Every structure is written in C-alpha cells, then in structure tokens.
RNA sequence: GGCCCCGUAGUUCAAUGGAUAGAACGAGCGUUUCCUAAACGCUAAAUCCAGGUUCGAUUCCUGGCGGGGCUACCA
C-alpha cells in the first residue's frame, strides 16, 4: 500500500504539473513490472494520449523524467511503448523491509476491528453415509474462507447444518433393523459412518431387487418404485419418527451417534472445526409461519390445489412451490426459516455465507430472492459460496456406481504415500515414532489440501486417483520443504536480527522477494473479497519459488559481509513467516524438518 | 426446449482490458567436495471457430461448435 499510495500521488502530481490534467486514482493503471523489464512498478500511459495529444512514448518519457527529478524514492525509469517502468530506491525497499513487514502478524487485521460478523456455513453432511471427495473440497474451502475472512478483522461463526433426518436416514435404519443382526461399530470394528453407509447401500440393493420382482410381475417401473414393500416400510418409519415413536427415535439416535463419532474423526483428520452446530431435526419445522406471513403480505399465493407458491418469472426465474398442498414443508421452506432464525439468534450478523456446490446455484437464487421479497433487508448480504464439482477421469462421482472416492480412504493413502516418500529420501534420522506419524500426516494432508485449494473454487476440478497427488513441483510438500529448509538455516543462524543495516544494497533476487512480501497484505484482502483461497495458494507458491532460486544462487550463512548476512537471515525469516501464515489459512501445517 | 457455467501447451492449473499468454507434471538436456537435490537451470509445447467493441481482447458483446449443471408438491 505504501508504494502504491506514494506512486499514485506522485503520478497525479506529475500529470498535473506536466500536462495540467487531473485524474483520480481509478484512472491510474499501475501494475507490477514484468520480469523481463527493469523496474518495480509500471504505469500504463495509453489512457493519457488523448488528453495530452502526445504519443504514449512521449507521455511516458515526460512523466518518467518529472518523477525521477522530483521524488527521491523514484530513482530510475524506462519507457517501452505505452509502458512507463519505474524503479523505487534501495532505501525505500529496505525501509519497508525494516519497518512494515517485520511486524508480527504482518498483513493480518486484528479480529473484530472491521466490526463485521459473518456466519459461514459449510460441510453440512447427510448422516446416512461417510464423507467423500466432494465433501473434502467443501470442508477445505469453507474452513479456509472462514480463516481468510478473519484476517480482514471480521468475526466469523463457522456453522454446520447437519442433515440428520428424512427418508434417506430411515433407509439406513430400516436396513440395519432388518439385516443388521445387531451389528455395531464395536462388534464389527468398522468406523460408525461407514457402518451406517453400508446399510444405506444394503437398502438400495434390496429395494432394487423388489422393484425388479414387481416389474417382472407386470407392474410399471414407476408403480413398482412406489409399491415396493421396503419403500412402504421406510415411509411408515418416517411417519413414526415424526410422531416421536420411542423405538424409532432410539434407533435413530443410536445410529446417528455412530455417524457423529465417525465424522468427528474425519473432521479432526482434516483439521476443520465449527463454532455452531445445527441439526435439521430441530430446524425442519421452521419456515411454515413465515409462509403464512408471506401469504398475508401477498408475496405468496395459494394455488387451486391448496399449495403455496411464489412467481419469480419477472426476475427470470420460475414459479416455486414453498408449501405443499398437504401443508408440509419443502426444502426451501426450511431454508427460509433457518435464515431468518439465524439473524434473530445473532442480531449482530452482517453476512450469511453458504458453502454449497454450484449444482444448487438456482436454489440459492430463488432463496435469496424470496427473502428479499419478504422484506428482509439483510437478504442482499446472503451469499452462495458456490464451488465446482470434483470430477473423476470417467466423469462425475456416482455413489450408485461405486465410483465415489471415500474421504477416509483417500486420506490414509495420502499418509502412506508421504511415509513411503519420506523413507525413500531418508532425511529423518532422530525422529521419534510419534514425530514421524505427525510428519506423514502433515505432508500427506498438505499435499491433498494444497491440490484442492490451489484451484479457483468456482471452477470444476479433475481428480485422478490413479495418478494420485504429486509431492514435487507446484504442490503442498514443495512449499513445506522450502519452509523446513529455512527453519534449518534459521536455527543454525541462531540470532535473528531486528533490522537490516541501511548501507546494504539489495541484489536482484532479494529485491524481488521484498516486493513479493510487499504484495502479501493485498493478496489477503483480495482473497477475502473474492472468497478465494487459491489466490493465497498461488501467491505462496510464487514466493516459495522465488525463495528457492535465491537460496540456490546465494548463500545465507556463508555470506562474508556480515551486514548482508544479517539482512538475508531476516529475509529468510520473513519469507518463512508468510509461508507459515499463508499455509495456515489454507488449513495446512508446515514442518520444521522433513 | 428454457436458464446458468465452462472451452488456454500432451495433461492439470495461472493470467484487476495491457508488454513477448505464466507454472507444474510428463518429454529431452544439464547442476551436488556448496545453508536439506521433496531443489535449481535450459529446450520443445497452447488461447475451440467466426465476427464485433477498444489505442489494446484469453478476458467484454453477438453467433456457431464442444462439454457440464439446473429446470420436482426430492433433499
């Protein structure tokens, strides 16, 4: 920011003094100078050719001359076509390095300073089967965006709305009751969510068989699906559940308990957490009264068959049913109710973010529009953090076709790959078994998390289980490795100086690193504004890559000039702090040794 | 059919309307008596097609082609 406000001011002055034209900041296009040219920042001069009636080169030359003559911080310039490349002084960069970037928590604003409170909902699993690769993207994204928002001084409430009721839950319950023989996680040694998932699959299998039999007995497929005895039983079970039947509720509680134990393990392995848990068994009744209010306000209307609907065709959407003709809720009814409930529960809430896949883009458009029509002015602060699907080489994951990549299995594979690679490289003598286990976890989950978060959340991504995830190149372990090397240097250096001597002249790579450090706060800001962790992931990679080149080309500890050596130690420290903090925002830990 | 998203090296990903479109993996070549070679360097390799707006388009607009998603009184 420092350099930008300095340059913006200087450029405004130059334009006014040289050409008598006044521009505001938004009319100044300032970008970082590309590597192949000399300079730190580049002003695009094309926009001024009309007002000045001169060529872009002439404008660049005149401005460059004025700037270097009138500002001691601007030392050099060169003009290439419509681009004026400006160099800031060694003193400027060293001054920034000594005062601005050497503070702790550089780039972070203190929590609460923005005065904004945000609820961010993510994860929101169903309790009928274990988590898979798609959930992993959701969890990593939600967690990371929450952490990134905190860096801007916002208070963030991480919320999880668990879908713990409904027909799909009853399917697992019924199958367990019929075929389970009392099997439990303890008796089978199976993780609770996987055990329940097994019965969900078992239900589906048995149900399909019944359908087949009915179809061969002369029914149509649709009739068979509705009349299959298992389906009738499941519906009966759901009715009992809603009526509070003790036996059904007990079974439901027991099996959901198994699932929660399983999820807790997966969440802990993934390193995600929540401040607030919501359960649909508590919230599914919400929203009905709101529908009545909406009817009174004429936002909704009653159809001939008794159902309640809203017409959104004027906004380019369709008619949407908000209450069935039998008076029961549809999914969006609950969503309307829970949103309103949350703003009542947290009156200080400024924003509500939903981390949900882009297949529900339409649903959220409708939801937000309805809230707006109901007159809630916070409706415009609701945001759908919509992310792309994770696809396999053969296409979308389909649980029925068994192409789902299980979260726990995948994480285990990552850990064992990390173990294998670490053993092959053989650099971990002196580690205890416990430390090794932690290291494999750090590297394995780091690889997976970085892999998923480096991609723009909005875009769909491809995951190829066969090729697995790399540990070299643009990856989490590459960044972790760089961090570990720096820690090794720092511990050998012993003392970390508080400031670099003002007489030091920065070389090209040192200067490049300091310029990257300078960018960090604005990367955090941008990333928060765009709800996009990939900006941080790619920035940290760029910093790491530049550091590795510096590390390769120059020695830190063997540098003979003591003042330069001190500066390099400090530089290494600042880079490693940013690597650590930045990775932490992605939910990734960094090891001191690997 | 209607609505929404996406098409960038062989592959996976980058690029607030700006310079010669960047990385990584894979391919080929090279670097270690030197702070950790999970590293560093070099070579080959891409904007789906056709128009338009602009001083300037991978980016914005229109049309085509190709891929995905949504379009329930399901969740």
| pLDDT of A206 over the 80 cut | yes
Interatomic separation, CA of residue A392 and C1' of nucleotide B51, rounded (Å): 36
How are beta strands A461-462 and A390-392 bridged, if at all? parallel
| pLDDT of A203 over the 60 cut | yes
CA quadruple A366, A371, A373, A379: dihedral sign: negative
pLDDT 10s digits, A288-299 = 999 999 999 999
Q: Which of A376, A380, A379, A381 is nearest to A294 (CA)?
A: A376
Which residue's CA is nearest to the C1' of nucleotide B55?
A46
pLDDT 10s digits, A482-521 = 999 999 999 999 899 999 999 999 999 999 999 999 999 9
How are beta strands A30-32 and A41-44 bridged, if at all? antiparallel
Which range among A88-97, A216-225, A377-386 shows the weakest confidence by mean pLDDT? A216-225
Q: How far apart are CA A473 and CA A541, in angstroms?
A: 10
Check if the beta carbon of residue A590 is closer than 8 Å to that of residue A483.
yes
pLDDT class of A1 with cuts at 50, 70, 90: low
Torsion of CA A219, A221, A225, A227, to 10 degrees: -10
Nucleotide nearest to A565 (CA to C1'): B35
Check if the beta carbon of residue A76 is closer than 8 Å to that of residue A28.
no
Place of tokens 């007159």: A375
Interatomic separation, CA of residue A529 and C1' of nucleotide B51, rounded (Å): 35
Q: What integer pLDDT is reported at residue A24 of this predicted model?
A: 87
Strand boundaries in A413-559, DSSP class E: 461-462
pLDDT 10s digits, A552-567 = 999 999 999 999 999 9
Mean pLDDT of A270-285: 95
Most confident among A44-58, A216-230, A407-421 (mean pLDDT): A407-421
A457 bridge partner residues: none
Place of tokens 């205890």: A432
Kindly list the distances between the CA atom of residue A82 and the CA atoms of A11, A27, A62, A143, in Å, as whole numbers in the listed order. Answer: 15, 15, 12, 43
Which tokens in the block code for residue A264?
């807790």
Domain boundaries, chain A: 2-88, 407-585
Interatomic separation, CA of residue A388 and C1' of nucleotide B69, rounded (Å): 10
| pLDDT of A279 over the 90 cut | yes
Nucleotide nearest to A463 (CA to C1'): B12
Q: What integer pLDDT is reported at residue A147 of this predicted model?
A: 98
Place of tokens 């209450």: A323
| pLDDT of A230 over the 60 cut | yes
Interatomic separation, CA of residue A57 and C1' of nucleotide B17, rounded (Å): 20
Nucleotide nearest to A329 (CA to C1'): B73
Share of chain A above pLDDT 70, in %: 100
Burial of A172 (0-12, 13-18, 19+ CB in 10 A): buried
Fold designation for A407-585: Isoleucyl-tRNA Synthetase; Domain 1 (1.10.730)
Mean pLDDT of A539-558: 97
Interatomic separation, CA of residue A89 and C1' of nucleotide B55, rounded (Å): 32
Nucleotide nearest to A455 (CA to C1'): B13
SS3 content of chain A, % helix, strand, coil (to 5): 55, 15, 30
Interatomic separation, CA of residue A458 and C1' of nucleotide B52, rounded (Å): 28
Q: How far apart are CA A390 and CA A417, in angstroms?
A: 21
Interatomic separation, CA of residue A428 and C1' of nucleotide B66, rounded (Å): 50
Nucleotide nearest to A37 (CA to C1'): B19
Q: Which of A414, A175, A128 is nearest to A280 (CA)?
A: A128
Three-state DSSP at A504 gives coil
Fold designation for A2-88: Gyrase A; domain 2 (3.30.1360)
Interatomic separation, CA of residue A122 and C1' of nucleotide B6, rounded (Å): 24
Check if the beta carbon of residue A168 is closer than 8 Å to that of residue A203.
no
pLDDT 10s digits, A312-323 = 988 888 999 999
Check if the beta carbon of residue A540 is closer than 8 Å to that of residue A583.
yes
User: Which contiguous run of DSSP H or E holds residue A80?
Assistant: strand A74-80
Nucleotide nearest to A481 (CA to C1'): B38
Nucleotide nearest to A544 (CA to C1'): B39
Interatomic separation, CA of residue A58 and C1' of nucleotide B13, rounded (Å): 40
Q: What integer pLDDT is reported at residue A243 of this predicted model?
A: 92
pLDDT 10s digits, A422-477 = 999 999 999 999 999 999 999 999 999 999 999 999 999 999 988 878 999 999 99
Interatomic separation, CA of residue A549 and C1' of nucleotide B40, rounded (Å): 7
pLDDT class of A220 with cuts at 50, 70, 90: confident
Nucleotide nearest to A44 (CA to C1'): B18
Q: What integer pLDDT is reported at residue A440 of this predicted model?
A: 98
Interatomic separation, CA of residue A486 and C1' of nucleotide B35, rounded (Å): 9
User: Which contiguous run of DSSP H or E holds residue A309?
Assistant: strand A308-311
Q: Which nucleotides of B are covered by protein (CB under 7 A)?
A: 3-6, 11-16, 18-20, 23-26, 34-41, 55-56, 68-75
Q: What integer pLDDT is reported at residue A466 of this predicted model?
A: 81
Q: Length of chain A, please?
A: 594
Question: Dihedrals φ, ψ of A115, to 5°?
Answer: 75, 10
Burial of A330 (0-12, 13-18, 19+ CB in 10 A): middle
Nucleotide nearest to A486 (CA to C1'): B35
Interatomic separation, CA of residue A397 and C1' of nucleotide B51, rounded (Å): 39
Three-state DSSP at A478 gives helix
Rg, chain A, Cα only:
30
Nucleotide nearest to A85 (CA to C1'): B19
Q: What integer pLDDT is reported at residue A316 of this predicted model?
A: 83
pLDDT 10s digits, A561-589 = 999 999 999 999 999 999 999 999 999 99
């Amino acid at each position: 920011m420092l350099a930008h406000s300095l340059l913006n001011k200087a450029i405004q002055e130059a334009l006014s003094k040289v050409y008598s034209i006044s521009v505001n900041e938004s009319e100044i296009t300032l970008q970082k100078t590309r590597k192949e040219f000399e300079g730190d920042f580049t002003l695009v001069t094309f926009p001024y050719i009309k007002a000045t009636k001169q060529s872009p080169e002439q404008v660049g030359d005149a401005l460059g001359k004025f700037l270097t003559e009138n500002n001691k911080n601007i030392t050099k310039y060169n003009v290439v076509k419509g681009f004026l490349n400006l160099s800031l002084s060694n003193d400027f960069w060293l001054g920034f390095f000594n005062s601005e970037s050497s503070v702790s928590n550089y780039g972070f604003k203190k929590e609460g300073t923005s005065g904004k409170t945000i609820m961010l909902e993510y994860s929101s699993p169903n309790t009928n089967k274990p988590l898979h690769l798609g959930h992993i993207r959701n969890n990593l994204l939600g967690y990371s965006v929450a952490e990134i928002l905190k860096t801007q001084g916002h208070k963030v409430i991480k919320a999880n709305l668990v879908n713990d009721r409904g027909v799909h839950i009853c399917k697992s319950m019924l199958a367990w009751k019929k075929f389970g023989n009392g099997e439990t996680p303890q008796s089978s040694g199976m993780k609770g969510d996987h055990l329940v998932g097994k019965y969900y699959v078992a239900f589906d299998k048995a149900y399909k068989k019944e359908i087949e039999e009915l179809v061969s007995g002369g029914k149509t497929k649709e009739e068979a699906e509705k009349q299959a005895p298992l389906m009738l039983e499941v519906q009966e079970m759901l009715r009992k559940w809603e009526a509070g039947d003790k036996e059904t509720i007990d079974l439901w509680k027991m099996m959901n308990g198994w699932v929660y134990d399983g999820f807790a393990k997966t969440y802990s392995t993934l390193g995600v957490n929540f401040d607030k848990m919501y359960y649909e068994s508590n919230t599914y009744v919400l929203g009905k009264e709101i529908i009545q209010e909406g009817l009174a306000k004429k936002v909704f209307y009653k159809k001939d068959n008794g159902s309640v609907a809203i017409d959104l065709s004027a906004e380019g959407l369709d008619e949407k049913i908000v209450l069935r003709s039998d008076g029961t809720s549809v999914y969006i009814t609950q969503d309307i109710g829970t949103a309103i409930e949350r703003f009542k529960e947290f009156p200080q809430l400024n924003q509500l973010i939903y981390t949900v896949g882009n297949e529900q883009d339409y649903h959220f458009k409708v939801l937000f529009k309805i809230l707006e029509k109901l007159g809630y002015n916070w409706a415009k602060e609701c945001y759908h953090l919509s992310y792309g699907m994770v696809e396999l080489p053969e296409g979308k994951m389909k649980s029925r076709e068994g192409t789902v990549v299980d979260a726990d299995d995948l994480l285990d594979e990552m850990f064992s790959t990390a173990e294998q690679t670490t053993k092959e490289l053989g650099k971990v003598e002196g580690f205890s078994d416990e430390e090794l286990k932690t290291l494999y976890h750090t590297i394995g989950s780091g690889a997976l998390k970085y892999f998923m978060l480096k991609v723009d959340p909005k875009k769909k991504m491809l995951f190829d289980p066969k090729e697995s995830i790399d540990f070299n190149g643009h990856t989490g372990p590459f960044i972790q490795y760089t961090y570990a090397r720096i820690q090794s240097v720092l511990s050998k250096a012993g003392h970390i100086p508080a400031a670099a001597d003002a007489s030091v002249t920065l070389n090209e790579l040192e200067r490049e690193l300091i310029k990257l450090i300078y960018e960090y706060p604005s990367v955090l800001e941008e990333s928060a504004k765009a709800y996009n962790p990939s900006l941080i992931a790619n920035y940290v990679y760029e910093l790491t890559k530049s550091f590795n080149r510096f590390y390769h080309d120059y020695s830190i500890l063997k540098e003979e000039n003591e003042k330069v050596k001190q500066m390099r130690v400090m530089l290494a420290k600042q880079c490693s702090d940013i690597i650590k903090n930045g990775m932490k925002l992605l939910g990734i830990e960094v090891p001191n040794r690997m």
